[in-house]
Amino acid sequence: MIAYVTVGADDIALAKQFYTAFLPALGYGLEEGPEGLSFALPVAPGQPPVLPDFYVKPTFDGNPATAGNGAMVAFEARSQSQVRDLHAAALAAGGSDEGQPGFRASYGPHFYVGYLRDPQGNKIALFSSDPNEPGRDA
């Protein structure tokens, strides 16, 4: 099981603007500190953490943060309309488009996804695969 994912950011304020445009709508809470941003799903008292956590941090070595070529973090939305809404919100908050929300021929008929990049260049996917919603071939 993946426990956490970390992406680097040189401008934490800009990263905060971007990620808070959609992660709270997916249930993530934010804790902010000198070490960066920590997003986590809520945990009921006495229960183990709901994983994975998502961290946005300055680099440990002090060099500029870079986006990994081929690296991507995907967040599951509740519906196709939420994918569209959150993709638009993330773009308005400083992200750049890497693929408008929609179906892709290379994935299953219900996999609805939008791609974007955060201000640092990290690739993010927002997707829904609810079989109760119209599919690609509908």
Please say if the pLDDT value at position 138 is more than 90: no
Please say if the pLDDT value at position 117 is more than 90: yes
Q: Domain residues of the chain, as ranges?
A: 4-128
Q: Assign residue 64 a region: left if phi > 0, alpha if psi is -120 to 50, beta otherwise?
A: beta
* φ, ψ for residue 117, nearest 5 deg: -120, 140
- pLDDT class for 1, splitting at 50, 70, 90? confident
CATH topology of domain 4-128: 2,3-Dihydroxybiphenyl 1,2-Dioxygenase; domain 1 (3.10.180)
- The CA-based dihedral angle spanning residues 69, 50, 95, 14, taken in that order and rounded to the nearest 10 degrees: -100
* φ, ψ for residue 7, nearest 5 deg: -120, 150
Q: What is the pLDDT of residue 137?
A: 86
For residue 101, give the 3-state DSSP assignment.
Answer: strand
Render pLDDT for 75-96 as a digit per residue (tens, 0 to 9): 999 999 999 999 999 999 999 9
Rounded percentage of the chain residues whose pLDDT exceeds 70: 99
Q: Assign residue 66 a region: left if phi > 0, alpha if psi is -120 to 50, beta otherwise?
A: beta
Q: What is the pLDDT of residue 72?
A: 97
User: Residue 23 to residues 15, 105, 127: CA-CA distances in angstroms?
Assistant: 12, 27, 13
